[in-house]
Amino acid sequence: MKIAVVGATGLVGGQMLKVLAEFKIPVTELYPVASARSVGKKIAYEGKEYEVVSMEKAVELAPDIAIFSAGGGTSLEWAPKFAEVGTVVIDNSSAWRMDPTKKLVVPEINAKELTKEDKIIANPNCSTIQMVLPLAPLHDKYGIKRVVVSTYQSVTGTGKAAVDQLMAEREGTEGVEMAYPHEIDLNVLPHIDVFQENGYTKEEMKMIKETNKILGDDSIKVTATTVRLPVMGGHSESVNIEFHNDFDLAEVKTLLENTDGVIVQDDPANNVYPMPKYAHNKNEVFVGRLRRDESQDNTLNMWNVADNLRKGAATNAVQIAKYLIENKLVG
């Protein structure tokens, strides 16, 4: 199995290499791919060193799978070129997510929709993935009417420049590039991605539209406020879910405990609830603070946390690759 990792020198690319190894994906040939300035650098994987190659060279090598984490513009330009040589592209950017001809996949929910004809597969937004994974079994059981979500997102979601900004502010270092329009240390920014004409940010609109597509139900109403915090390790979300039908709280907990990729941490009497510090480097979505919304019928409050570089990006992409390989949809 020949696999290319596009954006191999970035934060998500590095996690993709780790997860490929952890999941024991049968990589016979690895092609780390990055921008021209990184070509020739060495990347370590499973005890060996691999030389970073250019996009052009990677297309020429025609890998079986190319996992992209290199931005939307790069994906729009290069994913079709890989697809033309028979490569299946799993893309982590927003470039293809809302394309009606492309599948938007969280493997535990809708991998079964994939076929051999799918040459470009979209990986959802990190904050969407960790929300829809616990929502899916609840929607199947009770029918979701409306979701109100507020996110508390790690600086790692922005990339290395944001991590550097946070650390520089914390250490009092001057002259570091600003990834955000304001200081992030000891601050909270209700601003992720660019603002749209409707007053929402692009990140908020991603969560709204992607949720409907992944769950296959445009009737679900979603509203979102996405917020950046000076946090490392993962994203957190406060989710308020109104159902068409009433629910039993114990049954909700059991449903989530039996959902692949979800770990319930819900024992407030002993201060047990999900936190990004402890979700770091984990592949699961952690769920807790499960309780009825006492202001409205048929409504549940939930708190979830996940490592945005893992399940929110690298892990989900590698799980898609694993599904393709195991079901002989590639190679």
Strand ranges across the sheet with 299-306:
221-225, 144-152, 235-243, 299-306, 285-292, 262-264
In CATH terms, the fold of domain 2-124+313-326 is: Rossmann fold (3.40.50)
Give yes or no for a contact between 312 and 280, defined as CB atoms under 8 angstroms apart. no
User: What confidence score (pLDDT) does residue 36 get?
Assistant: 87
Q: What is the spatial distance between Cα 214 and Cα 225, in angstroms, rounded to a whole number? A: 19
**Which CATH entry fits the domain spanning 127-308: 3.40.50.2300, 3.30.360.10, 3.30.910.10, 3.40.50.150?**
3.30.360.10
Cβ atoms 43, 8 nearer than 8 A: yes
Q: Would you say the C-alpha torsion 27, 24, 81, 159 has a positive or negative sign?
A: negative
Domain locations in the chain as residue ranges? 2-124+313-326, 127-308
Which amino acid type is present at position 302?
M
Question: Which backbone phi and psi does 240 adopt, to 5 degrees?
Answer: -110, 120
Say whether pTM exceeds 0.75.
yes
What is the spatial distance between Cα 116 and Cα 156, in angstroms, rounded to a whole number? 34
pLDDT computed for residue 14 by the predictor:
93
> Could you give the residue numbers annotated as active site?
126, 235
**Would you say 180 and 267 are in contact if contact means Cβ atoms under 8 Å apart?**
no
Helix (H, G, I), strand (E, B) or coil at 53: strand
**Per-residue confidence (pLDDT) for residue 267, from 0 to 100:** 98
Q: What average pLDDT does the chain have? A: 97
pLDDT of residue 331: 81
What is the per-residue pLDDT for 257? Answer: 98
Alpha helices in 125-270 (DSSP H): 126-142, 160-171, 202-215, 249-257
Taking 70 as the pLDDT cut, the residues of the chain under it are: none
Cα distance between residue 115 and residue 30, in whole Å: 24
* The token pair that represents 24 in the structure block: 């024991």
